[in-house]
Chains A and B, each alone.
Chain A
Amino acid sequence: MTASRKLILAALAIALVQIGILSWMIVGRAMILRSGQEVVLEVQPVDPRDLLRGDYVRLGYNISSVPAELFAKDDPAADPDERTVFVRLRAGADGIWQAVAAAYGAPPASGPGAGEVDMRGTADYGRGAGVASIGVDYGIERFYLPEGQGRPIEDAMRERKFRMKVAVAGDGTAQIKAFYDGDALIYSEPLY
């Protein structure tokens, strides 16, 4: 094989590897959307001065701040910085899912009961006197919008309740599925 043929084959291989990596990411996300357990969370606006950054809104949820007493094992007062955390959710009477237990490193022991799901996040800091609650990021704190549509949604979010339907994979990865203004659907994520 000539050197130039080898080079072109190497280039083709690299192109396919990189396309493969991107495809794998896309398929992984589509799988979560298709077969993940659905939970509904209440959206809470974060940092009123800086809601809209670039072309997305930053979002907080009713489970973004997890009370320290929900942690069974481990010491929640210990440095929570950047640790993986699993939060167990259960649907409340109003259809909004609430945190009922949490643990660092692995899902809470005893496994999720019927109607429960474990969602994975990253603890970023402790809050309050003696660390009363732990801030958790789930990787769903951002919502991309077409240019110019961020401001109206941001304003409406301060007046009305917004809700988010989230799909949770078996390993706890969360994926945004649909965005509701009250009961009205304003966005639904296509598979691809």
Chain B
Amino acid sequence: MAGYLSTLKNDVARWQAAGLIDARTGDAMLRDAEAHHGRGVSFGSVLSVLAAALVGAALLLFVAANWEAFPRVARVALIFIGILVGYVGGAGLKARGHAGLGEALWLLAAVAFGAGTALVAQMYQLSGDEAQAILVWCAGTALAAIALRSHPLTVGAVLLAGAWLLMTATASGRGDHVPLSWLALAVVLWAVSLWTASAASRHLLLLSAMLFAGLLYVDHESLRAPAILAAVSAAAFALGVWRPEAADRLVRLDGGLPVHGLLGFIAGMSAIQFEYYDEPEFIYVAIVVFAGVVAALVLAGRSSRMLRWLAYAAFVYELGFVYVALIGTMLDTASFFLAAGLVLALIAVVITRIERRMAAAAAEVRP
């Protein structure tokens, strides 16, 4: 946030010089901005996290390289000390105002816990159940996130839950294993993310939910999951556009719900399109997707630049899809490149016009 503050400082100085605001208002605005954004991630704390990660990786590599030299009891003790020093030391650092370093130590402690489960498996020659070990690791990390109200640990737990989902669903040679219990886990982690004020975790959980629906589709070869994904996403989009305050109270994504809605809608509809690839119904599905993308652009494009670009990308993607499915056989390669070039040029013109109008509209709002 240091970047925003320094930009604002320059702006305020210019506004004061131009007589737009008086000196007192300017100073008050700067103080307010510092109070609200100063606590955010600063460049220094990012660097300290990276430094801690590097030192931790070096330690781990050293231990891994000399692993055989340590007796088993010493290995366990090393892991236990890592956990203890990581959590308590991190809390001490955070209490003294070094939030970035403290969080980094907590992450290292959580990694030590995961390494501990792997060590026990190695000590007692356990086989199978790597997924189970990841789940234990995820639960331990989520507990730590709750107790310490830590945003990075919440992100870690969400990522581990996703890893568990993927590992269980893709276990070799076994079908039908997408764990429905992931949904329960996701609900719990969502609650944890509200407690730890981790919006990034909620974004990741929504992306994981799309992955979950995709895995269900591949596993069951049924269109139920993608259809539900597309419908729920459309509903989420509508909620985010028409009731933005209610949506934000509900999901607290800083207005990001429509983007997820559009992404989920496209993901779900893509699966449906794959299924109807060779059927006459394909064209109707394609029309629904085009209509959805255009509707998203019209309804929410004005307020979100990210949504606009997602919609453009979806449009090009859908165009490619339709081309491969319907027109591909009718054109030779040269004509294809010509047609693709013309269509892309057309899209570029349309996008440029939309973006210009958005900019003009934004300028009007801000007289």
Interface residues of A (CB under 8 A from B): 3-5, 7-8, 10-15, 17-19, 21-22, 25-26, 29, 56, 58, 81-82, 122, 124-125, 137, 139-144, 146-147, 175-176, 189-190, 192
| A21 with B136: CB separation less than 8 A | yes
Assuming the contacts A139-B128, A142-B126, A144-B125, asked whether A8 and B120 have C-beta atoms less than 8 A apart, the reply is: no
Determine which residue in A4, A7, A81, A142 has the highest number of CB atoms from chain B within 10 A of its CB, and name it.
A7
Q: Considering the chains assembled together, what is the distance between the CA atoms of A85 and B128 in angstroms?
A: 15
Add 4 more A-B contacts to A7-B95, A14-B143, A15-B83 (CB < 8 A). A3-B95, A8-B95, A18-B113, A26-B120
**Cross-interface CB contact of A11 among B79, B87, B124, B125, cutoff 8 Å:** B87
Cα–Cα, bound, A144→B86 (Å): 28
A8 near B143 with CB under 8 A, answer: no
8 Å CB contact of B91 from A8, A144, A190: A8
Is A11 within 8 A of B148, CB to CB? yes
Give the interface of B toward A (CB within 8 A): 68, 72-73, 76, 79-80, 83-84, 86-88, 90-92, 94-96, 106, 109, 113, 116-117, 120, 122-129, 136, 140, 143-144, 147-148, 173-177
Asked if B128 and A15 sit within 8 Å, CB to CB, the answer is no
Closest-CB distance, A41 to chain B (whole angstroms): 13
Residues of B within 8 A of A137 (CB): 127-128
From known contacts A7-B91, A18-B140, A82-B174, infer whether A189 and B125 are also in contact, taking CB-CB under 8 Å: yes
Given A19-B83, A22-B120: A11 and B91 interface contact (C-beta under 8 Å): yes
Minimum distance in angstroms from A168 CB to a CB of chain B = 14
How long is the Cα–Cα vector from A8 to B88 in the complex, in angstroms? Answer: 6
Q: Give Cα distance in the complex from A19 to B1, angstroms.
A: 37
In the bound complex, CA of A4 to CA of B87 (Å): 13
User: Are B143 and A17 touching (Cβ within 8 A)?
Assistant: yes
A13 CA to B144 CA, complexed, in Å:
9
Please classify the interface of chain B as helix (H, G, I), strand (E, B), loop, or mixed, using the class held by over half of its residues.
Answer: helix
Contacts of B83 in A (CB 8 A): 15, 18-19
Bound Cα distance A139, B125 (Å): 8
CB-CB under 8 A from A139, the residues of chain B are 126-129
Given contacts A7-B95, A14-B148, A81-B174, contact A140 B125 (CB under 8 A): yes
The answer to whether residues A125 and B87 also contact, given A10-B148, A141-B127 and a CB cut-off of 8 A, is no
Q: Which of B68, B96, B125 is A143 in contact with, Cβ under 8 Å?
A: B125
Would you give 13 A-B contacts (Cβ < 8 Å), ordered by A? A8-B92, A10-B147, A14-B143, A15-B88, A17-B143, A22-B113, A22-B117, A22-B120, A124-B173, A125-B173, A139-B128, A142-B125, A144-B125
Query: How distant is B145 from chain A, measured CB to nearest CB, in Å?
Result: 9
Residue of B80, B90, B140, B176 near A81 (CB, 8 A) is B176
User: Are the C-beta atoms of B72 and A190 separated by less than 8 Å?
Assistant: yes
Q: Give chain B residues whose Cβ lies under 8 Å from the Cβ of A13.
A: 147
* Cβ contact within 8 Å between A11 and B147: yes
CA distance A12 to B83 in the complex (A): 10
CA distance A7 to B150 in the complex (A): 11
A144 / chain B contacts, CB cutoff of 8 Å:
122, 125
Contact indicator A176/B148 (Cβ below 8 Å): no
- Let me know if A4 and B80 touch, CB within 8 A: no
Q: Which residues of A contact B140 (CB under 8 A)?
A: 17-18, 21
Q: Is the beta-carbon distance between B147 and A14 smaller than 8 angstroms?
A: yes
- Which residues does chain A contribute within 8 Å of B143, judged by CB atoms? 14, 17-18
Contacts of A140 in B (CB 8 A): 125, 127
User: Among A13, A14, A140, A189, which residue has the most Cβ atoms of chain B within 10 A?
Assistant: A14
Chain B residues positioned under 8 Å from A15 (CB to CB):
83-84, 86-88, 109
Task: Say yes or no: A122 contacts B109, CB within 8 Å.
Answer: no
